[in-house]
Amino acid sequence: MTELIVALDAPTSWDNRRLLEKLVDQTPVRFFKLGVAALMSDRTHLLIDEITNRYRIRSLDQCARLMLDLKVYDTRDTVARVVHRAFEIGAHMVTVHATPSVMGAAMAAKVRATDVVLAVPHLTDQHLGRWSASFSVGALEACDGIVCPASIAAHHRSSTCMQEKLLVVPGIRPQGSDADNHRTAATPGEAIRAGATHVVVGRPIWQSPDPVAATLAILEEMS
């Protein structure tokens, strides 16, 4: 069954912490994403600790999990250090650039057998007419899964080497909502039909006047 990952992309770490508290207390969501911008906010380390430790105790039925959307792209040594540290602090998923050298270093840097490395071959604000030119088949074969728009998710899902891998789809917008800057936005249903194992939703939740109601509506749309 496809799982919802909520992107904690609110303007401040305090906003994100309040959102986290509400969603854990009032919804079944237990998977959260932090991107580079959120990591630059003050006291984000406390937010990471709350996701990976505090709610591990409070949510006995399912531990809260963290996706660090770092899109790491650097030398092999630096990639290995960054990814290893991300898993050390409790991340369940980490994203890296979809090139074989980066992917190899990231996969070797796992801390636990359950750690997940995701390749990012293309972004949701890009024109994807020539998406295949920027994608490395070698990285796809080596990774645990990929992050990609719903518009090409079905193509990746049909690939032989993707049959058992995770497919994480961002740029999700509920029925009738604004696509914002995403050229390839999709509804939860469209992403699920394309083969997504996880969908990532940020602005439709944290910008909502009632984030709990917005989250529950998205979960209903996914069911």
Which amino acid appears at position 119 of this protein? A
Question: How many C-beta neighbours within 10 Å does residue 158 have?
Answer: 10
Q: How far apart are CA 48 and CA 127, in angstroms?
A: 33
Catalytic residue among 22, 33, 71, 165: 71
What own/partner pairs with CB < 8 Å and gap ≥ 24 does 87-92 have? 87/111, 87/112, 87/115, 89/48, 89/52, 90/48, 90/49, 90/51, 90/52, 90/53, 90/66, 91/52, 91/66, 91/67, 91/115, 92/31, 92/65, 92/66, 92/67, 92/116
Does the annotation count 33 as an active-site position?
A: no
Question: Is 190 within 8 Å of 170 (Cβ atoms)?
Answer: no
Structure tokens of 31?
């998977």
Three-state secondary-structure class, residue 210: coil
For residues 84 and 65, give the distance between their C-alpha atoms in angstroms, rounded to a whole number: 17
> Catalytic residue positions?
71
